[in-house]
């Protein structure tokens, strides 16, 4: 995602919240992808907290996007925690973990990583 577009996504989320429009799963996925693109882990963690408070953390698309965010931002333990808590793991879940580890030169095996 283009840096400028990622920032616009974050501005849209902020504006939605200011206008008391409740974000949904699609909004969160787009916002988390923007955070991953910007490597804005702090914003991503805030969004994750809202997701947990809203009780939609079981959504597989959100879970996969959280894994991607945390892995891209070098928060591998958090990525693994989200992965472990998924109710259903898909090929997208596995790929998100594997690609995050591969991007950073780590090896992924049985939910563990090794240097």
Buried b (16+ CB within 10 A) or exposed e, 59-83: beebbbbbbbbbbbbebbebbbebb
The number of distinct structural domains making up the chain is: 1
Task: Give the separation between CA 85 and CA 4, rounded to whole angstroms.
Answer: 32
Maximum pairwise Cα distance, the chain = 46
Query: How far does Cα 112 stand from its chain's mean position?
Result: 19
Q: State the SS3 of 48-62.
A: HHHHHHHCCCCCHHH
pTM beyond 0.75, yes or no: yes
Residue 15: give the domain boundaries: 3-114
Dihedral sign computed on CA atoms, order 46, 37, 14, 86: negative
Compute the C-alpha angle 51/53/56, nearest 5°: 45
Give pLDDT tens digits along the chain (115 positions).
777 788 888 999 999 989 999 999 999 999 999 999 999 999 999 999 999 999 988 889 999 999 999 999 999 889 999 999 998 889 999 998 888 878 777 665 555 544 4
């Amino acid at each position: 995602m283009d840096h400028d577009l990622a920032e616009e996504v974050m501005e849209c989320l902020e504006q939605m919240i200011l206008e008391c429009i409740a974000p949904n799963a699609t909004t969160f996925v787009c916002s988390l992808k923007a955070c991953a693109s910007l490597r804005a882990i702090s914003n991503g963690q805030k969004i994750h907290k809202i997701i947990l408070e809203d009780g939609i953390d079981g959504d597989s698309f959100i879970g996969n996007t959280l894994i991607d965010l945390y892995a891209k931002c070098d928060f591998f333990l958090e990525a693994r925690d989200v992965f472990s808590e998924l109710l259903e793991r898909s090929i997208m879940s596995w790929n998100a973990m594997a690609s995050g580890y591969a991007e950073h030169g780590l090896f992924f095996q049985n939910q563990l990583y090794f240097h």
